[in-house]
Structure 1
Amino acid sequence: MEYIAQVPASPLDRFIDDIYCLTGVPRHRRVTVPPMPSAHLFLHLGDPVRLKDSDSSVPPALFTDGWFMGVWTRRFLVEYPERVRLVGVHFKPWGMSPFIGVPAGELRNLWVPVDAVWRRSIGRIRDRAGDTASAAETLRVVEDELRSRLADSPPRGLDLVRHTGMRLETSYGAIPVGALADDAGVSGNHLATQFKAHVGVTPKRVARIYRFARLIVSVDARLPVDWSDLAQGAGYFDRAHFTREFKDFTGLTPTQYLDLRRRFPARPDFPPDSGPMPAD
């Protein structure tokens, strides 16, 4: 499967890490995705994609066009078709807020059809991208759509969330939330309220996800792995807590995860392999 990505031009890059195309035959049809510090828009231009929540009470979803996905606090499973043609928008945790016109909390741990948020957009994007458009042309179409959807002024409180969220991003969640609030001159409750509105989760939860993401992408299954050293480097000072959170986020123990990665190595030049795990 081919992966082509680009960072959008300003001001979109304040809210979006990259826009990318996935095309071709997937290495793994079924992939488990742990919580990661991002929200997403997926536009599926090929055959349907099936999604399954790790919460067994939630029914699977089948998407023929595309979906918005807020920040997730638990894992889920993606089942790709035999051939993939998909465009993804990788938002920063707070980045979806100025594009969707609804509180980001309403998309937490949810997949929502694109047309439920952006009315009549899928057909327009499909018409412009077409079946034969190159990846570069498709990315340009999606970037134009995003630019047209960006709010003229940031929603109230988003600048605060963006400023403190960027500090969590650059520190991999290591800055105490109390220090973030003090430095911003607001109460911890006010900061949490704004994060829930624009991210969908509290800053403490965002910090946990950044911390886990730093650890999971630092694992090199080709070498011996000292889990205690990795956990401490990522900010886990309680080994039992680290093990519980790892199992909760991935569905695997650290030993099981390492065995999986050694059987199905991640491609170092293929970012979609850096967090998601093969489930087949």
Structure 2
Amino acid sequence: MEYVGQVPAPPLDRFIDDIYCLTGVPRHRRLNVPPMPSAHLFLNLGEPARLWDSDPSVPSAVFSDGWFMGVWTRRFLVEYPARVRLVGVHFKPWGISPFVAMPPAELRNRWVPVDDVWRRSVDRIRNRIGDLASATATLRAVEDELRSRLAEAPSRGLELVQHTGGWLETSHGVVAVGALTEAAGVSGNHLAAQFKAHVGITPKRLARIYRFARLINSVDTLRPIDWSEYAHAAGYFDQAHFCREFKDFTGHTPTEYLALRRRFPADRDFPPDNGPMPAE
């Protein structure tokens, strides 16, 4: 499967990490996706994709057109069709807020059809980009669509969340929430309320996801692994807590994850392999 991505031009780059196209035959049809510090928009130009929540009480969903996803605090599974043609927008955790009228908390741990968020838009967008021959033209068209939907003025509290969220991003979550509130000059309750409004989760929970993302993306399965060293480098100081969180986020113990990754190595030059793992 081919990946073509680009970082959008300002001011979109303040809210979006990249826009990308996935085309071709996937190496693995079904992927187990741990929590990552991002929200997403997917526009499906191929056969339907199926999604499962790791919570067994939540029914699976099939999408033939497109869907939004907020920040996830637990893992989910995605099953690609036999041949993929998909456009994705990888928002920063707070980045989806200025593009949608729906509160990000309503997108947390959920997939929502595009038309439920952008009323009666998905067919028009898919028809426009579906007729484009090149990935470059497709990405440019999606970027134009996003620019047209960017709110002209940031909503209340977004700049605070963007600033403190940027600190979480650069520190990989290894920063005390107290330090964030002190630097921002606000109370912990106020900061948590603004994060819930613009990210859908608290800064403490987002810090946990950044910390885990740093760890899972730094593991070199080709070398001997000392999990305690990796955990400490990522900011975990309690080995038991690290093991519990690893199992919660991936569905595997560290040992099981390592065995899986050695059987199915991630492609370092293929961003969609960073974090998601084959689901057996």
> In the alignment, which residue of structure 2 is the partner of 1:67?
67
Asked if 1 retains the 8 angstrom alpha-carbon contact of 2:43 and 2:126, the reply is no
Counterpart in the other structure of 1:134:
134
Residue number in structure 1 paired with 2:221: 221
Cα distance in 2 for residues equivalent to 1:144 and 1:259:
43
Which 5+ residue runs of structure 1 have no aligned equivalent?
none
Alignment-mate amino acid for residue 198 of structure 1: H
**Which residue of structure 2 aligns with residue 4 of structure 1?**
4
Per-residue CA deviations over 1:54-84 (Å, capped at 9, x if unaligned) read 0000000000101000000000000000000
- Deviations, residues 148-203 of structure 1 (Å, cap 9, x unaligned): 10000001100000000000000001110011011101000000000000000000
Q: Paired residue for 1:80?
A: 80
Whichever residue aligns with residue 33 of structure 1, its letter is V
Q: Provide the residue aligned with 2:93 in structure 1.
A: 93
Secondary structure at 1:43's aligned position in 2? strand
Q: How many residues align?
A: 280
Q: CA deviation at 1:132?
A: 5.1
Q: C-alpha distance in 2, partners of 1:106/1:197?
A: 10
Deviation at 1:103, TM superposition (A): 1.2
Task: Please name the residue that 2:211 is paired with.
Answer: 211
Deviation for aligned residue 1:120: 2.1
TM-score normalized by the length of structure 1: 0.99
Match of 1:44 in 2: 44
**1:268 aligns to what SS in structure 2?**
coil
- 3-state secondary structure, aligned to 1:208: helix
Alignment of 1:7-22 (within 5 A): 7-22=7-22
Structure 2, unmatched stretches of 5+, are none
What's the offset of the Cα at 1:94? 0.2
Where in structure 2 are the equivalents of 1:59-208 lying within 5 Å? 59-131=59-131, 133-208=133-208
Report the aligned-residue RMSD. 0.7
SS in 1 for 2:42: strand
Query: 1:226 offset after TM fit, Å?
Result: 0.6
**For 2:252 and 2:221, how far apart are their aligned partners in 1?**
15
Q: Report if aligned partners of 2:32, 2:75 keep a CA contact under 8 Å in 1.
A: yes
- Secondary structure (helix, strand or coil) at the match of 1:267 reads coil
SS of the residue corresponding to residue 154 of structure 2 reads coil
Distance 1:71 1:195 in 2: 12
TM-score by length of 2: 0.99
Q: Distance in 2 between matches of 1:67 and 1:32?
A: 18
Task: Please report how far the alpha carbon of residue 133 of structure 1 lies from its aligned counterpart in structure 2 after TM superposition.
Answer: 2.2
Percent of residue pairs bearing the same amino acid type? 77
Task: Give 1:142's aligned amino acid.
Answer: V
Worse-superposed segment, 134-143 or 251-260? 134-143
Of 163-172 and 102-111, deviating more is 102-111
The runs of at least 4 consecutive aligned structure 1 residues that moved more than 6 Å come to: none
* Matches for 1:231-246 after TM superposition, within 5 Å: 231-246=231-246
Cα separation, 1, equivalents of 2:248 and 2:186: 32
Residue identity in the other structure for 1:226: D
Question: In structure 2, what is the Cα distance between the partners aligned to 1:241 and 1:20?
Answer: 35
Q: Which amino acid aligns with 1:211?
A: R
Q: What corresponds to 1:28 in structure 2?
A: 28
Partners of 2:132 and 2:138 within 8 A in 1: no
